[in-house]
Chains A and B, each alone.
Chain A
Amino acid sequence: DAGVIQSPRHEVTEMGQEVTLRCKPISGHNSLFWYRQTMMRGLELLIYFNNNVPIDDSGMPEDRFSAKMPNASFSTLKIQPSEPRDSAVYFCAIHLWTSGGALDEQFFGPGTRLTVL
């Protein structure tokens, strides 16, 4: 399923290093979301964009996290410097909907599994 492409799929890095996660969504989406999933906290919304503009970043845990969406086909999530507690699966997702509700669905990418040593 090439709907949302994320890279890398796996990342192992050492504490203090910069990590950049990438997302290439399919065209025609309304919004783009970055989530983080851990066993302890489940699936958490970090930030979402509407028309490439960040709308709500209240879920971003700290200033070490930043996200950009320079155009409708690309977004990045950066962690600098990374810490072991950042280890998680990071998902990028897009929202597709139509008026009337015939389509109202979030499509997730396969995720990036990040391990910070």
Chain B
Amino acid sequence: RKEVEQDPGPFNVPEGATVAFNCTYSNSASQSFFWYRQDCRKEPKLLMSVYSSGNEDGRFTAQLNRASQYISLLIRDSKLSDSATYLCVVGRGAGKSTFGDGTTLTVKP
């Protein structure tokens, strides 16, 4: 079993749709949690950190459930520019992180 597992996708949604991605992690000692975004043929970039209290950044909402070892990302009112691969990332301190395989989102007009 992989340390970080994500919905395999791909997700194909129309503009304006709401889409949710899920991620589970196996190491209960994990300390930090993130969502990264990777555009085609580009490097991953931080989208947002994930906190136990949940956090929101515009149309994006991230949630963490430590008891269930579960992380989610919700995108509301999706835009064409949201099309990318979303990587769930779990950190164990000193920056060492494990990346999920990613979920690909395509938003269509």
Contact = CB atoms under 8 A, between A and B. Distances in A.
A106 interface: yes
Nearest to B49: A104
A48 B96 contact: yes
A109 interface: yes
A110 B43 contact: yes
Nearest to A44: B99
A106 to B, nearest CB: 6
A39 B32 CA distance: 25
Interface in B77-109: 87, 91, 94-102
Given A104-B32, A108-B44, A110-B42, A42 B102 contact: yes
Interface residues of A, number: 22
B45 interface: yes
Interface of A: 30-31, 33, 35, 42-43, 45, 48, 50, 55-56, 91, 95, 97, 101, 104-106, 108-111
Interface of B: 32, 34, 42-46, 49, 87, 91, 94-102
10 contacts: A30-B94, A31-B95, A91-B44, A101-B49, A104-B49, A104-B91, A104-B95, A105-B34, A106-B95, A108-B43
